[in-house]
């Protein structure tokens, strides 16, 4: 079951459409003749409405419709017609071309940023990427920097690392198309960190880490993915720890782009991040195609092939064999492991990247903030907000609302894989203090799917008769604190 997209404000009811007077036949006759020189800027300026109307009418409004009905009596097999139409669409593309020196959230007073922005756009255009989508993600990233969610240095670093992939024609594992796709996915996640998902994998701990990294230090996230794509390994700028992974796409990453839940870029990030913790324990977390090795066996009860095998493996480096037994197939990063992972990615020692009720921790965790009461929890969030240290990771128990009900809504949740409820890691993206008689609100990003994000502070979070907190509603301090309840098993 899919929920409607969350909205941040009430949208006014649109006015009824005006009666169309669009005459495609007449407008086609106005197109430049075949013997005219290539379209100039002047010509483009005179025909944007024509180009837009033709293009959107034929392709956007009804991509599978009958063009004969739209074009009336003009012959479909007319070479002149389609050459003219080609000039029209070329004119539209030229008219819509994004100027990398104008109208961006960050000013052009930074020569390094301007150079990187222009370079990555020219590379993206030369590689045939969807520039409308790509430029939109770039604008979103710069707007986030303008709002102090990240900074111009991280924006430039993101552009530079994406440009690396767009200059790379591939290697023995990834081809040019893979590099293009990874570049587009990195830019999307950098512009909109909430687009990061764990998919049908038990990687919520490192998916939440990924959201936090793209939100705060997108350049570091882009570097990790680009390094692995180009070299097959990531070396920590903090302490030199090296992690080698299989950089090829597996499972969901092989699906057509519109069917993906977890992207190839996220697979690379999440597998690498997992191993930045597990490599010190003599284990290697890997992602293979489901049942590629015949499937893993579960104990006790005798050797059995697990029917929910999704290709996740935790391998003992000494034996080279998967660790046997239930949850140990998953990353299962403990609460105190997140700071190590983040520090190794960013190259800077970091603590307090996560917050958790003390009684719910899976072991000693000095790097985790530990509120003892709802009041102390609210005070901590208030300070984190003031200090610009959000977002922060948070552990929850999915036996509590809203995550119990949200898990049922999301077919991509870890619960759908393991058929159980329990520990889960989410991201507190923002905190809005109490004001004007309204309680404080906590905006929560859930890597299960977009439909279960809790990012709308304008919805009333009061539970209904069924006990469910309205879908999409940001949570109160009490609701979130309750959900961070007593669960001591490792987060998946």
| Residue reference for tokens 């109490």 | 434
* 172 occurs within a structural domain: yes
378 alpha carbon, distance to own chain's centre: 28
Q: Which residues of 212-222 are buried (b: 16+ CB within 10 A; e: fewer)?
A: bbbbbbbbbbb
* 200 occurs within a structural domain: yes
**Cβ(454)–Cβ(483) below 8 Å:** no
DSSP state of 491: P
Question: Whats the size of the chain, residue-wise?
Answer: 492
* 282 occurs within a structural domain: yes
**Cβ(391)–Cβ(211) below 8 Å:** yes
**What is the per-residue pLDDT for 50?**
44
- Rounded to whole angstroms, the Cα distance separating 272 from 247 reads 10
In this structure, are 57 and 151 located in the same domain? no
Number of domains in the chain: 3
**What is the per-residue pLDDT for 48?**
42
* 470 occurs within a structural domain: yes
In this structure, are 293 and 359 located in the same domain? no
- Rounded to whole angstroms, the Cα distance separating 289 from 254 reads 9
In this structure, are 295 and 370 located in the same domain? no
**Cβ(186)–Cβ(144) below 8 Å:** no
**What is the per-residue pLDDT for 344?**
98
Q: Last residue of a domain, which of 277, 296, 329?
A: 329
Residues of the chain with pLDDT under 70: 1-97, 295-307, 324-328, 411-421, 488-492
**Cβ(391)–Cβ(214) below 8 Å:** no
Q: Where are the alpha helices (DSSP H) in 97-151?
A: 111-126, 131-146
In this structure, are 61 and 149 located in the same domain? no
In this structure, are 87 and 188 located in the same domain? no
In this structure, are 42 and 186 located in the same domain? no
Is the pTM value of this prediction over 0.85?
no
* 198 occurs within a structural domain: yes
Tell me which residue range forms the domain holding 48: 24-96
In this structure, are 249 and 294 located in the same domain? yes
In this structure, are 278 and 130 located in the same domain? yes
In this structure, are 123 and 88 located in the same domain? no
* 110 occurs within a structural domain: no
In this structure, are 76 and 183 located in the same domain? no
CB neighbourhood size of 48 (10 A): 14
In this structure, are 148 and 295 located in the same domain? yes
* 490 occurs within a structural domain: no
In this structure, are 212 and 127 located in the same domain? yes
Angle between helices 176-191 and 218-231 (to 10 degrees): 170
Structure tokens, 383: 């300070």
Q: What is the pLDDT of residues 296-340, one digit of tens each?
A: 655 554 445 566 778 888 888 998 877 765 445 778 899 999 999
- Rounded to whole angstroms, the Cα distance separating 93 from 109 reads 28
258 alpha carbon, distance to own chain's centre: 13
* 16 occurs within a structural domain: no
* φ and ψ at residue 339, rounded to 5 degrees: -60, -40
């Amino acid at each position: 079951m899919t929920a409607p997209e969350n909205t941040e404000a009430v949208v006014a009811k649109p006015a009824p459409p005006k009666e169309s007077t669009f005459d495609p036949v007449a407008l086609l006759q106005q197109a430049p003749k075949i013997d005219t020189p290539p379209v100039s800027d002047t010509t483009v300026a005179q025909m944007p409405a024509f180009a837009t109307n033709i293009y959107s009418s034929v392709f956007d409004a009804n991509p599978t419709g009958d063009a004969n009905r739209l074009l009336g009596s003009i012959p479909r097999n007319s070479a002149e017609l389609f050459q003219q139409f080609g000039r029209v669409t070329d004119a539209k593309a030229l008219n819509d071309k994004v100027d990398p020196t104008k109208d961006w959230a960050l000013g052009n007073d930074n020569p390094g940023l301007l150079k990187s922005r222009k370079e990555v756009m020219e590379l993206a255009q030369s590689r045939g990427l969807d520039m409308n989508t790509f430029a939109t993600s770039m604008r979103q990233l710069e707007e986030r920097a303008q709002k102090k969610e990240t900074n111009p240095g991280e924006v430039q670093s993101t552009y530079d690392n994406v440009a690396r992939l767009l200059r790379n024609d591939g290697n023995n594992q990834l081809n040019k198309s893979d590099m293009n796709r990874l570049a587009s996915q990195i830019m999307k996640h950098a512009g909109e960190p909430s687009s990061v998902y764990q998919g049908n994998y038990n990687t919520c701990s490192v998916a939440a880490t990924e959201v936090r990294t793209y939100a705060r230090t997108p350049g570091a996230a882009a570097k990790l993915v680009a390094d692995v794509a180009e070299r097959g390994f990531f070396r920590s700028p903090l302490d030199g720890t090296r992690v080698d992974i299989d950089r090829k796409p597996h499972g969901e990453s092989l699906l057509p782009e519109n069917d993906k839940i977890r992207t190839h870029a996220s697979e690379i990030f999440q597998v690498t991040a997992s191993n930045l913790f597990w490599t010190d324990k003599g284990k290697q977390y890997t992602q293979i195609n489901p049942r590629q090795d015949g499937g893993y066996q579960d104990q006790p009860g005798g050797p059995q092939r697990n029917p929910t095998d999704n290709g996740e493996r935790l391998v003992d480096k000494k034996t080279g064999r998967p660790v046997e037994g239930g949850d140990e197939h998953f990353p299962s990063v403990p609460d105190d492991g997140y700071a190590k992972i983040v520090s190794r990615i960013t190259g800077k020692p970091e603590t307090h990247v996560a917050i958790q009720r003390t009684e719910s921790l899976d072991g000693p965790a000095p790097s985790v903030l530990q509120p003892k009461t709802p009041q102390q929890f609210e005070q901590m969030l208030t300070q984190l907000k003031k200090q610009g240290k959000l977002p922060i990771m948070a552990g929850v128990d999915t036996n509590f609302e809203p995550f119990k009900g949200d898990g049922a809504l999301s077919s991509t949740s870890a619960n759908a894989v393991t058929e159980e409820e329990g520990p889960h890691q989410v991201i507190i993206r923002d905190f809005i203090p109490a004001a004007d008689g309204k309680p404080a609100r906590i905006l929560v990003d859930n890597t299960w799917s977009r439909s279960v994000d809790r990012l709308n502070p304008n919805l009333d979070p009061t539970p209904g008769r069924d006990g469910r907190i309205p879908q999409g509603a940001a949570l109160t301090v009490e609701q979130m604190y309750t959900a961070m309840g007593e669960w001591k098993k490792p987060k998946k």
